[in-house]
Each structure stands twice: as structure tokens, then as C-alpha cells.
Amino acid sequence: MSLEKVYDVPLEVAAGAHITEALYREMYERSIKDSDKFWSEQAERFVDWFKPWDKVQDCDFGTARIRWFEGGKLNVSYNCLDRHLAEKGDQVAIIWEGDDPDLDRTLTFRELHEQVCRFANVLKKHGVEKSDRVCIYLPMIPEAAVAMLACARIGAVHSIVFAGFSADALRDRILDADCRYVICADEGNRGGRTVPLKTNVDTALQSCPNVKTVIVVRNTGGTIDWDARSVWYHEELAEASPDCPPESMDAEDPLFILYTSGSTGKPKGVLHSTGGYLVYAAMTFQYVFDYRPGEIYWCTADVGWITGHSYTVYGPLCNGATTLMFEGIPTYPAPDRFWRVVEKHRVNIFYTAPTAIRALMAQGDNWLETTDRGSLRVLGSVGEPINPEAWEWYYHHVGRERCPIVDTWWQTETGGILITPLIGATRLKPGSATRPFFGIVPAIVDSQGNVLEGDCEGVLTITRSWPGQARSVFGSHQRFFETYFSAYPGKYFTGDGARRDADGYYWITGRVDDVLNVSGHRMGTAEIESALVLHDSVAEAAVVGYPHNIKGQGIYAYVTLVAGISPSAELEQELIQLVRKEIGPIATPDLIQWAPTLPKTRSGKIMRRILRKIAANEIRDLGDISTLADPGVVEEIIQNRANRS
Ligand code: PRX
């Protein structure tokens, strides 16, 4: 018998929720049995179309062909802005809260609309055309949303690069998407320090001859270098016309590219399209967060990640919601910052990542006691499995048992939330993302691809398409097919493991591939290894994840040095700096262990399973090591591990 805890959604929240238990069952069944009709209704309900679609769906996982609402015409910025002007023109669309607690500002829908139209005209003036790629490298400031919506308005495809990525990572993404335009800020602010964004762009562009124009937002006013390609955002905006009719886009026209890490090679440019993505982002936003008009919603995710795309910008604005953007970090100037922001702006719905919850939990409850969180109604979690202790703290201490927690499972590739509780319909179990959203049919499979039934554990796949699903990998549809549709033919491979309990609840157990989740940031071990081996002294490197109290997973790097080179603290620092330069601070290894050689099979494959166990200090349980070319290596690595901890 399971001893897990089950919580009912607090009555006052469940009452009046959009989706009740009976409605969930009825709608879920219809979403599967009468899928075309169901999705037609949702597409009409959440989005205004210039022209209706000819065909609701045309999807085949056998060839990775995914099409929704083909023939339909719409514009994302029109849906997020213009259509709200008549009734909500003076309502605040974006609340911005600076890194410095004394700085904030608001933009109404009318003001945001005007800025977006002006900026869309600026883009046009500089030659941006429909389907051109535009790189956005901005901190969490309203101009990031303006830039996204301006691209969407004219049919340009944005590719946002998280402002914590290094110049080298930025360069790779600009080149891969062949972006000719870059939008950045002079600097970003983070925890009282500045981040040199324009300087990073300057470095990146030394290898990007195709970039024509860099549009620079003045954010900190810090000193930066200037060149012939650079123009100021505010100067251009002031001169531009506020009149810019939205481009009529096909439902399947691309909306954005977002790079994410996989188990092999360099990051992939996941491509999302216009119609299906918007329908799915808008619909999940309303149902999952049970959004009600007038509420203040805050998602702490950066626009550099998919959560920032779908649930800071597109989902909320499409619903006419007020969305809060925060440039800072949870612990600056003090660990009560999140709660101070909640109190200051009377936030009703708060969506964050388990790593932030754990970090704040570790600071103690005193930081909660001096703040009033009475405005909160719904709490959300995303990005990694939330451990039950953190869930309980979030529920009892942050929400004072008044607010349900929606633990939402999804991915960059899914565009929106796939597995989640629905307020009013779902009893909560700490640590479980609970049940599939409408239209989502998960299947748990074993390593041979057999579908497992009932209470089981295996690899999580999804058996049919949903409108928010990614359409391709930019530049390589073959890679899209191979990554997601070849492992289990006919099914979408998520890369995650999952357990399903007797109540049909899903428990995500983490990645089954060589992808790490460090503080909710997704990273391929291969990327970090490639960075390490760039150093002349490194012969070989293997990176694995290990359990980390705050980050969820930490980065553990085993490094074999070139013959004749001795390990040193200095070399360790050089390697850390190298990874930060190649990828960014988020990829900083937590531990580097020198390994005389790495454990390999006779065919030369590194046995990561063993390295993971050693990193986690689970050395009594190494499993079968008889296939190793030299089993003695393991003993040596264990010894080194013991010496360092
Ligand atoms: O492993 C899962 C984990 O984050 C991965 C997706 O990362 P990314 O594409 O960066 O998108 C993150 C935000 C949607 C998944 O494969 N993950 C995300 N949400 C959860 C989660 N793991 C467990 N529970 C979640 N709620």
C-alpha cells in the first residue's frame, strides 16, 4: 500500500474553477475520441483567426510530419494585443520589477501595442522580412516581450538566446539559425551585478559576418563599445510610426526557434509554429492556472527558456492577463525578494522552479514571516521533479495551505504543459505531475518499446500529437525525426523516465538520456565534455550528473589529462573558466575529478552508468563491471573519489 500523501484542492479555490472533475473526464474523453471537433472548439475559443483552417490536424509520427490548423490565417501579436484594446486597453499588460527593488514600471495593453508596432516598423526599416531569423539576447525587461511580439507581428522568426549564455554560445546560435539581426541590451542586471551583454555580442559577432544590424536597448546606461552595425533601440523607436498592420500568417508558419540541449552533438534549434502553438499556450495557461480576468500572474522563468515564451509572454498576453517580468534573482537583496514582489504587486498566481523553492527553503522561514502573501491563489512548479519536502514547504509555508500547487511537466519541444493537475479536478500528490492534459495520451514503455499497463515504470512517450508540439529542428528535419521519433516508432520519445501509479498519476523520474537538469537548466553532458577537451592538457572528459540539494543535479566532470601533465588547482580553475567561456556560468562544473583513465567497455564506450554511481557515492551498488576492458580502473577512480570528499 502506498503511504504517499494526497491533498484535496482547498475548497475556496476549487469552487468556481474552470475545470471540475466531471468536466475534466468529459473533456478529456472528447479530446481523444472526437479530437478534430475538440481542437476546433478550443482553437476558436482561444484565438482570433483572420481565416479559418481547412484541416484541423495532419500528423504522422512515422515521418515526423506535424501540422495543425493548416490553411488557417492569424497573427500572434494581434491575438496578444490588438484584440484586447477595446476592452482592456488601459489594463496593465506587463508589470516589470527590476533587480533593484526600487525600480519598477508598467505597460498597459495600449502602450505595449504602440511599442510593438513602432518596433515592428524599426525592424522593417532595417530590412527584416517575413521568415527572417532575429536573435534576441536580452535580460528580463519589457523590451524582450516587445521584441518577440514585433517579430511575430511581421512574421520574422525570433531566436532568443538566454542572456546567461556566453559569447561563444551566442555565436553558435546566431550562426546556426543564420540570424542577420541581433537585439540586445547594453548590460543586464543580476543580483546587484551587471552582465556585459553588448560586449558579449561584440565578441560573438567577430565570427558572424552576416549580421547586419544590432539594436541595443539602453538598460543600465553602462559604457559599451559602438560600431557601424549598432543602433539604439530608443532612438529608432522614437522615429518609427506607431502604425503597423499585423501580417497575416499561415498557421504552420514558424513563430520561433529555441535552442535546447540533447544527448548528442550541439544544441538543437527547436522550431515552433504559429497557430497550434498559440492555441496550446493560451489554452493551457487558462486551464492549468485557472486564470480569471483581472488577476496578476507571475512566472519567474526567463524568456530565454521555453517557460518564458509560453507562460511569461504568449499564454498570458493571449488571454489578456497581466504578466509580471522580474529582472532579478530570488535572493537579492535578501532571500525574501520573491515574497516582497508578491506582496508589492498583489500577485495571484505564482509559477517558479523547484531549485528556487529549495534555495529559499534552505534560508529558513523567517524570510516568509515578514511578508504578506495573502493575494496568492495558485502556485506552480516547473522544470524538474519537485521533491516532496520542497513541495510540502511550498504548500504549507509559502501558500499557507490555501493554494493548490500545479506541478507541470513539459519540455521545450512540447511548447506547453502536457501533464499537470487541474485546479478543481485533481487531488494533489506531492512530487507527482498527476494526470495528462486534454488530448495528451502518454504511454510508458520498456526498453524494448513494449507498452506497459497499469502501475508501472519505464520510459515516457506520447502517442499522438497536440497542437503545441514542435514541428522540426531548424535546418534538419532528419535530426528531428531521429531524436524524437525513431527510438519508439510511432511514438514521441520524451527522454524522461516515469512511473504511473494505481490512480493513473504520473511521477517523472528524470532524464533517461545524457541530458542534465541543473537548477532547471537543461544541458547535454556532451556539450560540457566538448568544452573541457578544448584545453590542451585534457585528453578525455566524461561528465555526469549527481544529486545536489539545491540544484537538483550538480555537474560532475571526470577528466583524464594528457600524459606528462599533473593535476593542479590552477588547472582545475582553467577548466572551469573554459566551460564558462564556451557555454556560460550555468554550466560551471561543481566537481572535477582527475581520472587516470575512464572506465570503458572493450569496444571503447565510456561506461557512464558506473561514473554516475561513483559520483553519487553509491559505490556498493556498481552493478556488472565484467564487460569493462580494465575493471581495475574503477577501483582507482573510487579511491580518488574517496580522497577528495
Ligand atoms: O526532465 C524533464 C524536466 O525538464 C525537461 C525539459 O526541459 P526544458 O526543455 O528545458 O523545459 C523545461 C520547462 C518546461 C523534461 O524533459 N521537467 C520539466 N518539468 C518537469 C520536469 N521534470 C519533472 N517534473 C516537472 N514538472
- pLDDT of 516-555, one tens digit each? 999 999 999 999 999 999 999 999 999 999 999 999 999 9
The best mutation among 508, 509, 512 to test binding of ligand 1, ranked by most ligand atoms within 8 Å of the C-beta, falls on: 508
Residue 409 among known ligand-binding residues: yes
Residue 617 located in a structural domain: yes
- ipTM beyond 0.95? yes
Enumerate residues lining ligand 1, CB below 6 A: 260, 305-307, 382-385, 407-412, 433, 494-496, 508, 511, 517, 522
449 φ/ψ angles, rounded to the nearest 5 degrees = 95, 5
Residue 358 lies in a domain: no
Which residue's alpha carbon is nearest to atom 11 within ligand 1? 411
- The CA 312 to ligand 1 mean position distance, Å, reads 16
634 domain residue, yes or no: yes
pTM: 0.96
Q: Is residue 585 reached through a cis peptide bond, with omega within 30 degrees of 0 on the bond before it?
A: no
pLDDT digits (tens, 9 = 90+) for 346-359: 999 999 999 999 99
Report whether pLDDT(644) > 90.
Answer: no
Atom of ligand 1 nearest to the CA of 386: 24
- pLDDT tens track for 45-88: 999 999 999 999 999 999 999 999 999 999 999 999 999 999 99
Query: Does residue 152 lie in a domain region?
Result: no
Of 47, 48, 42, residue with least CA distance to 18: 42
* Strand pairing class (254-260; 157-160): parallel
In this structure, the residue with its CA closest to atom 10 of ligand 1 is 522
Q: Where residue 550 sits, what CATH number does that domain have?
A: 3.30.300.30
Is 190 known to sit in a ligand binding site?
yes
Rounded Cα distance between 498 and 89, Å, is: 44
Long-range contacts of 372-375 (CB under 8 A, 24+ apart): 372/343, 373/339, 373/342, 373/343, 373/398, 373/399, 373/400, 375/296, 375/342, 375/343, 375/346, 375/347, 375/348
Mutate to test the pocket of ligand 1, among 288, 410, 553 (most ligand atoms within 8 A of CB): 410
Greatest extent of the chain over all pairs of C-alpha atoms, in Å: 74
CB-count burial class (<10 Å; 0-12, 13-18, 19+) for 477: middle
Question: How many domains is the chain built from?
Answer: 1
* Domain assignment present for 435: no
Q: Is 519 annotated as a binding residue?
A: yes
Which atom of ligand 1 lies nearest, measured to the CA of 408?
Answer: 26
* Tens-digit pLDDT profile for residues 387-417: 999 999 999 999 999 999 999 999 999 999 9
Q: What are phi and psi of 439, to 5 degrees?
A: 80, -5
The residue assigned the cell 566551460 is: 579
> Could you identify the atom of ligand 1 that is nearest to the CA of residue 410?
14
Q: Give 494 Cα–ligand 1 centroid separation in angstroms.
A: 10
- Classify residue 631: in a domain, yes or no: yes
Task: Give, for ligand 1, the residue of 312, 355, 409, 511 to mutate: max count of ligand atoms closer than 8 Å to Cβ.
Answer: 409
Rounded distance from Cα 392 to ligand 1 centre (Å):
20
d(CA 259, ligand 1 centre) in Å: 15
Which of these, 435, 463, 508, lies nearest to 25 by C-alpha position? Answer: 435
Q: Cell numbers of 518, please?
A: 541543473
Residue indicated by cell numbers 477595446:
86
Domain that holds residue 610: 519-640
Best mutation site among 496, 523, 551 for ligand 1 pocket (most ligand atoms within 8 Å of CB): 496
**Which run of H or of E encompasses 382?**
strand 378-382
- 583 lies in some domain: yes
511 is in an annotated binding site: yes
Burial (CB count within 10 angstroms: exposed 0-12, middle 13-18, buried 19+), residue 102: exposed
634 backbone φψ class: left, alpha, beta (φ>0; ψ -120 to 50): alpha
Which residue owns the Cα nearest ligand 1 atom 25?
A: 409
Average of pLDDT values for 365-373?
96
Atom 26 (ligand 1): residue with closest C-alpha? Answer: 409
Given a contact cutoff of 8 angstroms between Cβ atoms, the answer to whether 195 and 188 are in contact is yes
Over residues 95-148, the pLDDT tens digits come to: 999 999 999 999 999 999 999 999 999 999 999 999 999 999 999 999 999 999
Task: Tell me the C-alpha distance between 239 and 126, whole Å.
Answer: 13
What contacts 368, CB < 8 A, 6 or more positions away?
336, 339, 397, 398
Count of C-beta atoms within a 10 Å radius of residue 8 = 10
Ligand 1 atom 23: residue of nearest CA: 385
With a cut of 60, say whether residue 1 has pLDDT above it.
no
Residue 89 lies in a domain: no
Annotated binding-site residue? 385: yes
